[in-house]
Amino acid sequence: MSFLLTAKRVKPQLISVARAMVLISMHKAWDNCRTRNVQPEEPDFVASLVMNGTKILEAGWRKVLGPYKTKIAVTGIYCHQTPKVSFSGIHGTSCELGDLLWCHIHTNRKRNITRNAILYQAKKSSRQPYRISGKEFNQLKLYSNWPEFIYVSSGELNGEKRHVKPAAPRRGAQYLLIDDRPPEHPESGLLGIPGTYPIGSCISQNPLVDHSDLGLELVHSLELLSGNPFDERKTALKEIGWSRVIWDLLLISVKKAFRRSRSGYFNQPRSSGAPPSIMDGCFYTTSTQAPKIIVSLLGSKDANYLFLSNIEGPPSKQEDEWFDEGGGGLSVIVVETYELEE
C-alpha cells in the first residue's frame, strides 16, 4: 500500500495525534513562561512546538503508522534568531523570512523520495480575522508575491539572491495564528473544546482567516494537500527558487545545532522555564541515528556526532554564554517516513 493510501486510511488517528501535539505544546509554553513570570510571545510558542511537540508527534504517529510497515523519525531544531531578507519596495530595511519550517520527506519501497514543505510566520492574537498592518505588510508581500530577495542577518547566506518564480502555491507559505488567551480564559482555544483550537493555519491574505487548525494542516501536508514540493539538494543548488530556499533554511539551522553541540550543549534543553534565547540552536531527535537529510547536510561524521554525542547538559552556569557566531537559523521540524520492505 502506498503511503498516500496509508495516510488516507489512518487520517483520523493522525489528526488526533497532531492536534494533541499542538494543544500540549501550547500548555507547556504557558507553564514555562509562568515560571519566569512573563507572558508567552511567538518565540515561546514556536520553541514549545519544536522541543516538546516533536516527542508527542513521533510517539503517536509511530503507533499509527507502524502496523502499515512505515518507520518514522522526527527532528526538531529551535532557532531564536530568524533569517531576514530585503527586497525592492520593502518598507524599512528587512523582514523575517519565517518562524518555522515544516518538512515531510517520504521514501517508498523503491527508494523514490517525495519532499514537501510549509514555511510559517507566527502571529499571536485571538482576533479572528486578524488584520495585517504597518511593517507586517512586508511579510505579506513576500509570501503573496515572492519578489526577488536578498538574505540579510542570515550568517553565511548574507548577500545571496533568491527568486521564488513561479511563486510557490499559496499553501507553501502560510501564517500561524496563535490564540494568545490563557488556558483559564473561558473562550481560549487551549481548553480543547470541540470546534476550537489553539493555532490556526492561514493563507497569506489580508485579513488573516484560518482555513484549518494546525494539526489538520500538518496531516494535509502528508497527503500533499498542503505545502509545496521541493527538489533534492543537488538539483536545488542549480537554481535560486523555492527548493533552494528550503535547503538554505535546513542547512543554516542544522549547522547551528551542530555548533551548539560542539560548544558543549546537549541536544534537549532545560525547557522548564528556559527563555527562547537559551534554547537557541538546541535540537531534539527521536532517532538514534542521524536521519538521511541531516547526513546530506553535514556529512556522516558530523551528523553522527550531533546525534550520538552523550552530552548531559551545558557546563554549570554557562547557559547564558551561548551565542550564535554564524547568524540566524530557522526553527524546523522534519518528519521522515520510510516504507519498510515486505
Residue 285's nearest CA partner among 66, 60, 57, 82 is 57
Which tens digits make up the pLDDT trace of 291-329? 888 888 999 888 888 877 655 555 544 555 555 555 578
Residue 205's nearest CA partner among 123, 120, 121, 132 is 132
Neighbours of 206 (CB within 10 A): 14
Question: What are the respective helix, strand and coil percentages of the chain, to the nearest 5?
Answer: 40, 20, 40
Does residue 58 surpass a pLDDT of 70?
Answer: yes
CA dihedral for 165, 169, 170, 173, sign (positive or negative): negative
Rounded Cα distance, 289 and 71, in Å: 13
Strand partners, 302: none
Rounded Cα distance, 195 and 320, in Å: 41
Mean pLDDT calculated for residue range 182-204: 89
Secondary structure class of 162 (helix, strand, coil): strand
Helices within 198-267 (DSSP H only): 214-222, 233-236, 242-262
The whole model's pTM is what? 0.94
pLDDT on residue 272: 52
C-alpha cell of residue 26 = 501550547
The cell 554564554 sits on which residue?
A: 321
Residue 29's nearest CA partner among 54, 49, 12 is 49
Does residue 266 surpass a pLDDT of 70?
Answer: no
pLDDT on residue 62: 96
pLDDT on residue 82: 86
Does residue 52 surpass a pLDDT of 80?
Answer: yes
Higher pLDDT, 60 or 169: 60
pLDDT on residue 273: 62
pLDDT on residue 167: 74
pLDDT on residue 79: 92
Mean pLDDT over all residues of the chain? 89
pLDDT band at 195 (very low <50, low <70, confident <90, very high): confident
The radius of gyration of the chain's CA atoms, rounded to the nearest angstrom, is: 19
C-alpha cell of residue 270 = 532545560
Which tens digits make up the pLDDT trace of 68-119? 999 999 999 999 888 999 999 999 999 999 999 999 999 999 999 999 999 9
Neighbours of 100 (CB within 10 A): 25
Which of 27-31, 78-82, 201-205 shows the lowest per-residue confidence on average (mean pLDDT)?
Answer: 78-82
Name the burial class of residue 194, with classes exposed (0-12), middle (13-18) and buried (19+) by CB atoms within 10 angstroms of its CB.
exposed
pLDDT on residue 1: 79
